[in-house]
Amino acid sequence: PVPAAAAAGEESPVEGGPPDHSYSLSSGTTSEELLRKLNEQRDIIALLEVKMKEMKGSIRRLRLAEAQLREEIREKDRLLHAASAGTRKRHGL
């Protein structure tokens, strides 16, 4: 198995040292590094917002398709019920 840090493209921590997560900071972090990490986080948030909007659109389309399919089923059930009621009347059932 690949360690999570390696899978995420991060360098592995030094043996026994703290994990190097994008959200963890060492005491010697420079303002330039802080700014870079902040910008990375903003980029990630922006990407997630775009994905959420896409997913909301997909969910909306799926709900509309579901409603249309349910309406088609109701209509076909109604037609089948009407046809079977007509058959029973013709045969005196």
In the chain, where the domains are located? 29-92
Q: Which residue has the tokens 């990407």?
A: 47
Structure tokens belonging to residue 85: 């009621």
State residue 30 phi and psi, 5-degree precision.
-85, 165
In this predicted structure, the answer to whether residue 66 has a pLDDT above a threshold of 90 is yes
Looking at the chain, list the stretches that DSSP marks H as alpha helix, in order from N- to C-terminal side.
4-7, 31-90
In this predicted structure, the answer to whether residue 83 has a pLDDT above a threshold of 70 is yes
What's the pLDDT at 7? 47
Q: What pLDDT digit, counting tens, does each position of 2-42 carry?
A: 454 454 454 445 555 555 555 566 777 899 999 999 999 99
pTM for the model stands at 0.53
What's the pLDDT at 92? 64
What's the pLDDT at 76? 97
In this predicted structure, the answer to whether residue 56 has a pLDDT above a threshold of 60 is yes
What's the pLDDT at 68? 98
Q: Are 37 and 43 in contact (CB under 8 A)?
A: no
- Distance in angstroms (rounded) separating the CA atoms of residues 23 and 87: 72
Q: 60 by DSSP, 3-state: which?
A: helix
